[in-house]
Structure 1
Amino acid sequence: MSPASEATARALGRIRTDVQSMHAYAVQDARGLLKLDAMENPYGLPPALQAALGERLGALALNRYPGPRSADLQRALAAYAGLPEGFGLMLGNGSDELISLLAMACDLPGAVVLAPEPGFVMYAMSARLQGLRFVGVPLTADFELDEAAMLAAIEREKPAIVYLAYPNNPTANLWDDAVIEKIVQTQGAQGGLVVIDEAYQPFAARSYIDRVARHGHVLLMRTLSKFGLAGVRLGYLMGPQALIAEVDKVRPPYNISVLNCECALFALEHAEVFAEQAARIRAERAGIVEALARLPGVRTWPSDANMILVRVPDAARTFEGMKARGVLIKNVSKMHPLLANCLRLTVGTVDENARMIAALEASL
């Protein structure tokens, strides 16, 4: 072994053993494939808006640190979301950073993060990376909240944070509001936070924004990724000002670049364009569900997101067959036992969806 290799081996001893045993978040290589694996909005900006945005971005002072425009963005997002009076809003480099910041802010000795499973993988990953214990509570076989199990886990674990995705990823469904309220009340009674994750809000029939003011311990998290700006990396967290102010203390001072900020402000000024895109995606989602119902051996679940969860006879074979036909989706069958032989399909354009359904049918 060379001296440099020996030095690397010694330095690895300074990295946490639990980190070394973890798997990095995997992003599939989509080059040359129809990319329908990551719940992205398939529509870009119209040419006229591309030109206008390019002109604005070109005029930015890239030699300066981000300044007061981030406050402008906070106000614009608060107005767009309909944030109640007296509530606060903080920005994150995507929802992923907000989840990490919440874990950091709540990292008291013995702290627990709790969430239903299967769910968004970053809840568990961020908790464990911060040294918190993560407790997953299995959903029912139909991917609904297990009310008794959730309430019992909250009473037993006294979690610092309970995450509820609304709708959930990867199952795409909205859970029963009455059960959610019982969970919120039980978590509040023992002094913990509830984070309602509305990443897929543009495609959902309901939002928690009209209920968030009822509770002093509930935070609402959203992102502009599904809105249509996945490449911009912009998430935001809303809630009682006193809670947001404390979490905001662990945020890096310049976490939102001037480019991110200006892109987001520009998009909100043209929100009607993205609303029309979301409407097209919802309409296409309904068409995909109808097409899937005609395929033998394929089971689907209700979706309030821009994705559809399906169960097929052999997920690995179907995934590889679709990839061989140029269509990349997400094989989630190994994520959790409840997801056995399940695939997650992203809703694309009319043509993309037709290709996806044809590839699925040929690969069953």
Structure 2
Amino acid sequence: MTDLLTATMARVVRADIQGLHAYAVQPSAGFVKVDTMENPHPLPPALQQALGERLGRVAIHRYPAERGDDLKAALAAHAGLPAGCSLMLGNGSDELITLLSMACALPGAVFMSPLPSFVMYGLSAALQGVRFEGVPLTADFELNEAAMLAAIDQHRPALLYLACPNNPTGNLWDEAVIDRIVDAMARHQGLVVIDEAYQPFAARDAMHRLGRQPHVLVMRTMSKFGLAGVRIGYLMGASALIAEIDKLRPPFNISVLNAEAALFALAHADEYARQAVLIREQRERLFRALQDMPGVHPWASQANMVLARVPDAAATFAGMKARGVLIKNVSALHPLLANCLRITVGTPDEVTLTLAALRASL
């Protein structure tokens, strides 16, 4: 039976898929969990009860219908979507990246992103059989403008992803450099996807580009907002463009429970804004403490995590895990990330425990 299964998989499963590694999620039970950029704050008890009662009234025996449209309207209002633009929903940003890849996977197409950045850009391209070109950032994780512009002229990418703030580095890039890159993509009639997964913690956003730069799309998620378990992503752009990509979306990709939970969260956006303020405060506390540690070099962040280089990332990661704190060792993701750790901003108590474990593990 094993021989038959091996032979069958070899014949019917694409060879490049067999060579890929699945996205790994670390087991986290019993740990201080500061590895996956989640909002660490639960809802207050009164709102938890109100949400539970609201979800209990949802017609889960029916397929999702108008509630998705209600959520799109609420998100459009929340984001300040300009006239002439539309919004589509995804099961997290990951599904939206997949749909973009499917829509733009023409023969000979090239997708592009600075590197290091979100791994799903390149992985999704590979799954669609599209060539992906990564352009290295500078040593300080800034955009290499000359290299980016040269790569755009050489490869004429169909899709260019710009994560603002970037993951795993946490920084926002120079707006003037982004302007010139966006203009270069327009000359080659390519799309720019500005991924604003960490927008709740950043000093600026890209909504001003929608409406005046029709080849620009803005992608956001409610995961960092505070609903990582709900899986709501949304893509905004020119209505005609969104309509084409939306043709690929499964008809019931957002469950009624997820839609209702997201609508509830938007109705209580003030609570999530309060939590974002707390996270930004703890981010600065974490960054300052890392600056004071001998041998540690952190980078200023506009997201809900801080990237730091340590003398030995593997040993430090293992030491922190042994002390009950789970962070992310990103050293293997790109040569520029050698000996780098990514630390999610937790609650004040979690930041205290994280710093203590880090000091003891260095």
Q: Say yes or no: TM over 0.5.
A: yes
| Secondary structure of the corresponding residue to residue 38 of structure 2 | coil
| Secondary structure of the corresponding residue to residue 331 of structure 2 | coil
| 1:164 alignment partner, one of 162, 165, 171 | 162
| 2:99 alignment partner, one of 84, 98, 101 | 101
Deviations 1:28-51 (A, max 9, x none): 111111110000000011111111
Aligned-pair identity in percent equals 65
Deviations 1:49-96 (A, max 9, x none): 111111111111111100101000000000000110120100000000
2:73 is aligned to 75
- Residues 98-247 of structure 1: matches in 2 within 5 Å? 98-247=96-245
2:345 is aligned to 347
Q: Which runs of 4+ in 1 moved over 4 A?
A: none
- Residues 318-337 of structure 1: matches in 2 within 5 Å? 318-337=316-335
Return the alpha-carbon distance in structure 2 between the equivalents of residues 225 and 95 of structure 1.
9
Residues 210 and 216, structure 2, Cα contact 8 Å, conserved in 1: yes
What letter corresponds to residue 299 of structure 1 in structure 2?
Answer: H
What letter corresponds to residue 6 of structure 2 in structure 1?
Answer: A
Structure 2, unaligned runs of 5 or more: none
2:7 is aligned to 10
| 1:266 alignment partner, one of 264, 267, 277 | 264
| Secondary structure of the corresponding residue to residue 232 of structure 1 | coil
| 2:22 alignment partner, one of 24, 27, 31 | 24
- Residues 242-261 of structure 1: matches in 2 within 5 Å? 242-261=240-259
1:37 is aligned to 35
Q: For the aligned residues, what is the CA RMSD? A: 0.7
1:66 is aligned to 64
Structure 1, unaligned runs of 5 or more: none
Q: CA deviation at 1:126?
A: 0.5
Return the alpha-carbon distance in structure 2 between the equivalents of residues 159 and 124 of structure 1.
13
| Secondary structure of the corresponding residue to residue 194 of structure 1 | strand
Q: CA deviation at 1:211?
A: 2.6
Return the alpha-carbon distance in structure 1 between the equivalents of residues 358 and 107 of structure 2.
48
Q: TM-score with structure 1 length normalisation?
A: 0.98
Q: CA deviation at 1:6?
A: 3.0
| Secondary structure of the corresponding residue to residue 210 of structure 1 | helix
Return the alpha-carbon distance in structure 2 between the equivalents of residues 288 and 134 of structure 1.
35
| Secondary structure of the corresponding residue to residue 214 of structure 1 | coil
What letter corresponds to residue 6 of structure 1 in structure 2?
Answer: D
Residues 210 and 238, structure 2, Cα contact 8 Å, conserved in 1: no
Return the alpha-carbon distance in structure 2 between the equivalents of residues 285 and 278 of structure 1.
10
| Secondary structure of the corresponding residue to residue 253 of structure 1 | coil
Q: How many residues align?
A: 361
What letter corresponds to residue 3 of structure 2 in structure 1?
Answer: E
- Residues 46-65 of structure 1: matches in 2 within 5 Å? 46-65=44-63
